[in-house]
Structure 1
Amino acid sequence: MTQVREAVLADLPVLVELRTAMFTAMGVTEIDPDWRPTAQRWLAARIEHPDHCLYVVEDGGQVVSSALGSLSESKPSPARPFGYDLHISNISTLPGFRGRGHAGAAFEAVLNWGRSRPGPVRARLFATADGRGIYERAGFVTSTWPSLGRDLS
């Protein structure tokens, strides 16, 4: 039996495991294993924060997938004078449970949370090749202005 629910503090170890699985699937090399306790503290601070939502999917009573939404106020622009941006991240499923719709269920729960917020909400995310289809089926398109990044430290 599959169940989608909000994450609780007891889920923190598996949430870090899911984040690790996500980075592994992305081909990210682990340089510093001390990132895990930091990630756990970071997630703990957001589980009950009103500007964040964290959903998990249980399969047979085991947490196997997750998705995180983080809401921030949009900067005013000529096309959008007010509103919010929902950054969706941490969409991950444990390897043995992939291909069963769990990531899509967690993702949809975050989208529904975003839809329930006041004011217009624009959702954004970074997609891997494996996850891209889920997002495109939900109406996400490649941005006209792609994101660029750089470490400053």
Structure 2
Amino acid sequence: MPDVRVRVAQPADLDALVDLRAEMFRAMGTPDTNGPWREKARRWFADRLDHPDYRIVVVEAAGAVVACAVGAIRDAAPSPASPDGRDVLVSNVCTAEQSRGRGYGRAAFDAVMAWARRTGVGRAELMATDAGRRLYERAGFVGQECLAMRARLC
């Protein structure tokens, strides 16, 4: 990929990270991608740029951020599937609509996975959309029978 840079996100990338997160939600069919969540997301990214338990990666093409991915080490009680109780959550894998199909999302995802392997944590987890399923399966992710469930608390 000529004129393409895969790198750790910097403070100058915060707006692009929020815009890509909004794009991810649009692609998943979320109707309202504006609102107060955007400023909170910007602060969330800013607070984690240099945190050792997070890796936020961007892909820059022709000087513009076009894709990103996030890895986060999570702490949980040990279990048979995760004896140390820790795993890496991979999230926010997204490519700007006009830049899809060029391998940018894969490059961001691969960089986060390379970081995840270096952490020594034994397991990674993510929530896949249909569009990303093949990429994740090629990286060794397999579907689980346990369905995610959510409840609003407030």
Shorter chain as denominator, the TM-score bin is over 0.9
Name the structure 2 match of 1:40: 42
In 2, Cα distance between equivalents of 1:133 and 1:76: 29
Tell me the SS of whatever aligns to 1:116: helix
Partner of residue 31 from structure 2, selected from 26, 29, 32:
29
Q: 1:30 to 1:84 in 2, by over 3 A?
A: same
Name the structure 1 match of 2:152: 151
Tell me the SS of whatever aligns to 1:49: coil
- Residues 85 and 122 of structure 1 are in contact (CA less than 8 Å); yes or no, is this contact kept in structure 2? yes
Name the structure 1 match of 2:142: 141
Q: 1:99 to 1:31 in 2, by over 3 A?
A: closer
Q: Count residues in correspondence.
A: 152
In 1, Cα distance between equivalents of 2:80 and 2:59: 39
**What 5-or-longer segments of structure 2 have no aligned partner?**
none
Name the structure 2 match of 1:65: 67
- Residues 83 and 121 of structure 1 are in contact (CA less than 8 Å); yes or no, is this contact kept in structure 2? no
In 1, Cα distance between equivalents of 2:15 and 2:80: 44
1:29, distance to aligned residue in structure 2 (A)? 1.6
Give the structure-1-normalised TM-score.
Answer: 0.93
Give the structure-2-normalised TM-score.
Answer: 0.92
Name the structure 2 match of 1:10: 12
- Residues 58 and 67 of structure 2 are in contact (CA less than 8 Å); yes or no, is this contact kept in structure 1? yes
- Residues 57 and 64 of structure 1 are in contact (CA less than 8 Å); yes or no, is this contact kept in structure 2? yes
1:73, distance to aligned residue in structure 2 (A)? 2.6
1:79, distance to aligned residue in structure 2 (A)? 4.7
- Residues 65 and 92 of structure 1 are in contact (CA less than 8 Å); yes or no, is this contact kept in structure 2? yes
Q: Which amino acid aligns with 1:11?
A: D
1:131, distance to aligned residue in structure 2 (A)? 1.1
Name the structure 1 match of 2:93: 91
In 2, Cα distance between equivalents of 1:135 and 1:101: 13
In 1, Cα distance between equivalents of 2:76 and 2:37: 30
- Residues 18 and 38 of structure 2 are in contact (CA less than 8 Å); yes or no, is this contact kept in structure 1? yes
Structural RMSD (CA): 1.4
**What 5-or-longer segments of structure 1 have no aligned partner?**
none
Instruction: Using the aligned pairs only, state the percent identity.
Output: 45
